[in-house]
Amino acid sequence: MTADPGTTPETAPQAAPAVPARRNEALYFAVRNGKLLAGLAVLLPLLVLAVAGPLLTGGDPNAYVAAPASPPSSERWFGTTMFGQDVFAQFVYGLRITFVVGVLGGGLAAVIGMVIGFTAGYRGGLVDEVLNMLTNIVLVLPALAVLLIVNAYLGIRSVGVQALFIGLTSWPWAARAIRAQTFSLRSRDFVDLARLSGVSTWKIISREIAPNMSSYLVMTFILLFGGSILIAASLDFIGLGPSQGVSLGLMLNNAARWSALHLGLWWWFVPPGAGITAIVGALYVMNVGLDEVFNPKLREL
């Protein structure tokens, strides 16, 4: 190939810049963000353990399989409860329930928050006032008292009901934040152009406004995910969770009820407590990392 006679080594165009193409910009900074990678490094092994762990332990996690109150050993990695139940088997089953409640509760809260937030922020006026009033009512609703009433009158205590309750009571702050973001976007030129073209309201929201808030919506779901896990663990610990099955919060409840701390059975309550802390902590660290990835002003690269 012949060089352009009009160019010299000094005047030739520089090599391709290190800045990535815009469409790959988020991925470029994501794989280089330490906080995001650290959160994933903690979360993914726990997720794999929750999925594949029950296949290794098998059977009923509440079965009496060994001598009571046995410390951790090569045979029973996390020891046994004071009734002879395998703590590791309960831990991996509890992890699965924890992730299920987080996804269902956080997902439901995210969907409700998006519907309410997008509608209120885009429509404005009377619709905004009504939805904002509904948001404020749910925001100040004593969720714990409502759950006590539900348990007392309906007597239904399952993972699905717990996730439904969390989802129905956790969406208000997300709705208010999405409403504010939508309110700032609805007067942009591209939204006005779509409106003048006769596009329906939901198509404008789903095709014009929501894509511009995709990073914010992802971070909102992660926060709701972590919040749902904390609420579920708290409800289980005080005895308002599912009456059947195993969860990390229920393991803590049983350990506290049977005085594991006073009896020195640390292996009964440390694994579930550490599991909850690791999952929620990893989610919040990931959220900080994603904020740096999506916000150029926060990037350290």
pLDDT by residue, tens only, the chain of 301 residues: 334 444 444 444 444 444 455 557 778 888 888 889 999 999 999 999 999 887 877 778 888 888 899 999 988 889 999 999 999 999 999 999 999 999 999 999 999 999 999 999 999 889 999 999 999 988 887 776 776 677 666 666 788 888 888 899 899 999 999 999 998 898 888 888 888 888 888 889 988 899 888 888 999 999 999 999 998 898 888 887 777 778 899 999 999 999 998 899 999 999 999 999 999 999 999 999 888 888 777 765 5
pTM of the model: 0.83
- Three-state DSSP state, 64: strand
Helix, strand, coil in percent for the chain, rounding step 5: 70, 0, 30
Which position has the token pair 């579920």? Answer: 232
Decide: 253 and 239 in contact? Cβ < 8 Å: yes
Residues linked to residue 64 through DSSP beta bridges, in sequence order? 85
Other CB atoms within 10 Å distance of the CB of residue 209: 22
Decide: 84 and 66 in contact? Cβ < 8 Å: yes
- Three-state DSSP state, 206: helix
- Three-state DSSP state, 85: strand
Length of the chain measured in residues? 301
- Nearest alpha-carbon partner for 218 in 107, 87, 101: 107
